[in-house]
Amino acid sequence: MSLDRREALRLIVALSVAACSAPPPPLALPPRRHAAAARQIGQAWLKAAGVMTDAQALADALGAGAPAEPAAFTAWIRERHQADLAAGRTTQVDGWLLSLTEARLYGLYALLP
């Protein structure tokens, strides 16, 4: 997943707090093409699933140890996404099957200002 700099920073900060780690170094991520789409799906998931609406709690659920380096962060997300699918950790939004990782990520997009 590609994120723009500001959005990625928000996510990394949230994830880093969850991990009680040091603030991330400056990021140099490619522009995210479809942040609005992620928010839209995130909103639908949060509403339908009735899951946590606290960004920090969602970040905790997403997992600790997010790397600060943008490409590594994208790879970290993708790795968790694929591990979820392999283990059957999935959810649905209007019938669309998503890994829990991507659903939580989109949920964070919806929650972060």
Choose the stretch contacting other proteins; rule: CB under 8 A; options: 13-21, 49-57, 59-67, 82-90.
Answer: 82-90
* Residue 71: its H or E element: helix 70-87
Residue 99 in contact with other proteins, rule: CB under 8 A: yes
- Residue 107 CA to residue 61 CA, distance in Å, equals 11
Q: Which residue is associated with the tokens 């989109």?
A: 106
- Residue 34 CA to residue 50 CA, distance in Å, equals 24
Q: Return the number of the residue (23 or 83) whose C-beta is nearest other proteins.
A: 83
Q: Which of the 8 DSSP states describes residue 28? A: -
SS3 (DSSP) at 96:
strand
Q: Return the number of the residue (88 or 113) whose C-beta is nearest other proteins.
A: 88
Q: Return the number of the residue (27 or 93) whose C-beta is nearest other proteins.
A: 93
Residue 6 in contact with other proteins, rule: CB under 8 A: no
Under rule CB under 8 A, how many of the chain's residues touch other proteins?
31
Q: Contact at 8 Å (CB) between 32 and 4?
A: yes
Amino acid at 45: W
Residue 81 in contact with other proteins, rule: CB under 8 A: yes
- Residues contributing to the site for other proteins (CB under 8 A): 1-2, 30, 32-34, 36-38, 40-41, 44, 74, 77-78, 81-82, 85-86, 88, 90, 92-99, 102, 106
